[in-house]
Chains A and B, each alone.
Chain A
Amino acid sequence: MKNLFLVLLILIGINAAYSQSKNPDEILKRVTETFEMIKDYEVDVLINVNVKFLKMPDRKAKIFYKQPDKIFVESEGFALLPKQGLNFSPLTFLQTAHTALIDRVEELNRINTTVIKVIPIGNKSDIILSTLWIDESRNLIMKIESSTKPDGSIVIEFQYSKIDDNFYLPSTIVFTFDVDKVYFPTGITGEMNSESEKKDKKNDIAKQGKVTITYSNYKVNQGLSDELFKKESPN
């Protein structure tokens, strides 16, 4: 028992020492610098929406991005994209004043990650607290967990692939977020609720939604024109 306690104490000590030896701002800076290499990109996406109260087929779209936060989504048909995190970029995310501290080291999907907590300073940001899982070997964010004032919590999980043997860009992003309790006014449709709808209405509606975006055919640093982003933006 004494030995076990000693081993535990040593492990905690090593972990604490390891955490102390790292500078969270340095790690975040390296992540930002890696992302800064990507000036712009266009990519085909496949969007899968999995929300209990929403039934829709998978949609295809094209996303255009340009530094620091310009984004344009082009879709042949109608598509839904998660509001939170759609235009996520470490550049804008880490631009606001914040305090960062290393929380722990954790293995995430067989990748060793450093978990950093980021607390925005001041009242400007909607984010209360973010936790970032960072793969230091590639300087990539593998997962973000954010609590926001208006929209509850959101978890964004990333998987990357290497593009042009040079850049790591997401191949899949999974957004898990809170969805407000829904009430849909049907007055305009003149609908009377059917028997099954009346029954269902009494049930609680799941509050979590999940959107999976699969990225393919990246075209990086092609020099996208600013004009493109002046078109009607999804935001």
Chain B
Amino acid sequence: MILTLIRIELLKIFRKWRTYIGFIAIGILVPVIHTAMYYEGQESLDFMTRNLQQSFVFVGNLLNGYFISYIILNALTIHIPFLITLVAGDLLAGEATAGTYRILLTRPVSRFQVVSSKFLTGIIYTNLLVLWLAVMSLGVGLLLFGIGELIVIRSDTIIILDKSDVIWRFMLAYGFATLGMSVVCSLAFLFSSLVENAIGPIISTMAVIIVFIIISALDIDVFKSIQPYLFVNYILNWREFFNDPLDFPRIVESVSILLAHLVLFFGTAVYIFKKKDILS
């Protein structure tokens, strides 16, 4: 039964124009970044490694598909949440706006099944969006720029990973990014269960993410005590898969915290939806 519900929900969301906005945005943005990197990537790389070049001679090329994909993943994981909320914020509130809640709930399915199918549809959409990002950035990037060693530049460390040691890291990083984005989806879904209009959850989720990102980025003592409790702090920890050696405790901690948020947001949404007085 739940599979049928998910199929119906997928049909519903993919009939809406807004569902394609995320795919189109990534489909346009990633080739634009590829083109820019094709022409000016080497200059950017030289700028990033200028300190290192004072002491070392570089042999070979670091401008490759892995490097470009890493940059794209870095840049877009902060912004993809906004694309996800467009769909996730509409999942429940959209029914209220359209006035189809009552019709939906007169079907011989429980409220839990309805809310679960909608949530899983949101998760599937999130997965598809991250998969699309992976195909566009990594797939097309490797076709255009080829493979090579990946240089990871942090504020105080440079890690150069052998080309044979990179692809599994990307797979796990995309998997982790999917989990992070699923938390965003579940937050938008929770907000969606609270209101009757889809705009509210979309704006609220974006506002929460923006505020959390700003608080996470500011190096102020007052915020430092709050930072560990902000889930956005953990969403970007897919970067840990590009560390050498891997910081397993940190990865496990991040995954656990994100999963806990996911369950909490979904559980709360289920509770609210089950108790909800359906009036439209």
Contact = CB atoms under 8 A, between A and B. Distances in A.
B56 interface: yes
Interface string A56-90: 11000100000000000111111111111010000
Contact of B55 (A56, A189, A193, A209): A209
B160 interface: yes
Given A53-B156, A184-B48, A80 B162 contact: no
Interface in A142-169: 151
B29 to A, nearest CB: 13
Interface residues of B, number: 49
Interface stretch (A20-28, A33-41, A97-105, A195-203): A195-203
Contacts of A54: 52, 157-160
Given A78-B62, A198-B219, A83 B156 contact: no
B59 A61 contact: yes
Contacts of A80: 52, 56-59, 160
Contact of A53 (B57, B158, B244): B158
B59 A81 contact: yes
Contacts of B239: 191, 194
A209 B56 CA distance: 10
Contacts of A193: 154-155
B75 interface: yes
A78 B54 contact: no
Interface string B32-75: 00000000000010011101111111111110000000110011
Nearest to A198: B219
Interface stretch (A128-136, A175-183, A222-230): A175-183
B10 interface: no
B44 A184 contact: no
Interface residues of A, number: 48
A182 B49 CA distance: 10
Contacts of A76: 60
Contact of B148 (A78, A179, A191, A197): A78
B57 A183 contact: no
Given A55-B159, A78-B160, A197 B55 contact: no
Interface of B: 44, 47-49, 51-62, 70-71, 74-75, 78, 148-149, 151, 153-163, 165, 213, 216-217, 219, 227-228, 233, 236-237, 239, 244, 247, 250
